[in-house]
Amino acid sequence: MKGSLDGIRILDVSRVLAGPFCSMILGDLGAEVIKIEHYASGDETRGWGPPFVNGESAYYLCANRNKQSMTLNLKSEEGKEIFVKLASTSDVVIQNFKSGTLEKMGLGYSQLKDNNPGLILASITGFGSTGPYKDLPGYDYIIQAMSGLMSITGEPDGGPVKVGVAIADVLTGLYTCIGILGALQYRNQTGEGQEIDISLMDCQISSLINVASNYLCGGVIPKRMGNRHPNISPYQVFKTMDGELVIAVGNDEQFKRFTAVLGWPELADMEEFIHNEQRLQNNDKLVAICEELLSKKPKKEWKEQLDVAGVPNGPINTIAEMFEDPQIKAREMVVEMEHPLIENLKLTGSPLKLSKTPVTMRHHPPLLGEHTELLLKRIGYNTEEITRMKENNII
């Protein structure tokens, strides 16, 4: 079966996470992805470890399946010529050099579109191509700090905390993917390509959603609330007899069902708890009552009763516990791929479940330069020329 993006060619000259994560999603959807890497060292994440599996870093493996790897020296004139040739037959170029770098190399959008008017160039930077910070490097950790995300993450009496994954990179990869899909649709209608300017900072600020809106509408600076929700109650981690359980009561009807499970249905009719606004105002009192009742039974028993009652809840799993969950297995969120160096390589599956054009796992995360010779021959270079370019550090 063909993928949704079958026939689309992506030339990906990005490194680390945001760009590679974006191009992996496009590859999962059926696009051909050519990953351009530094001729000597490759993508930086190839060296980010441990853990390593037979020389391949787990970090690199997480975001690079369904791609071909080609090494190229973009500082050489011949390397630039090869890049232009590849871009002339590609639909999308993804890059995350510092703002203006590609233009200085003569490989910016204005130069590339002369050979390919339908080309889409997605540029990912820390702060975008405009503004006083446009020349600064952008790293996920810095963006989490500057965007305000860390100021609202952590316990109220503790210090600011970053999210446990590079969330700004992940969100930027998703936003870039959305932008590319929109640009492809526009090109389908007009035949015209365009440039996409994506910044980690913009993406992280956009993803503050209701917290940002609370400030813009209410004028109160949000603070760290730990595991509490700023707008809903009860909606947090609760202690049970033998561990912790997240309970997320989203409306008044769920609160009534929750109090019935607790064995105190009258709680839902008390004036101080009758609606979410009152519950939020009296959150500390309500939480104390709930925790006293929840401490009388183990978390497994509470979960079973809450599930039957339709009250959203869930245990705090370790990563290992999560991957053993029968729901995760049923959704095929772990996939195995053949790899030339790694036996039974396991990777996180795709959340995209399309009925007509399902996601496919066609290619293992490529070895450094695994497809260089193949791709060069496809655009007209012969064996002798390829050997010469290897000797001269062009590829």
146 contact partners, CB below 8 Å, separation of at least 6: 201
CA distance 271 to 263: 18
CB 189 within 8 A of CB 182: no
CA distance 152 to 156: 9
Sign of torsion over alpha carbons 169, 175, 181, 184? negative
CA distance 58 to 64: 11
What is the torsion angle, in degrees rounded to the nearest 10, for the CA atoms of residue 128, residue 130, residue 135 and residue 137? -20
Structure tokens that stand for 122 in this block: 């997605």
242 catalytic per annotation: no
CA distance 65 to 51: 18
List strands edge to edge, sheet with 244-248. 235-239, 244-248, 313-315
> Terminal CA-to-CA distance of the chain, rounded, Å?
34
Using alpha carbons, list the distances in angstroms from residue 120 to 85, 194, 298: 15, 5, 55
Q: Which of 169, 284, 307, 325 is catalytic?
A: 169
Residue 93's Cα: distance from chain center in Å? 19
Residue 335's Cα: distance from chain center in Å? 18
CB 80 within 8 A of CB 74: yes
Picking from 83, 82, 48, the residue whose alpha carbon sits closest to that of residue 63 is 48
Picking from 107, 69, 105, the residue whose alpha carbon sits closest to that of residue 85 is 107
Sign of torsion over alpha carbons 6, 11, 16, 18? negative
Active site residues: 169
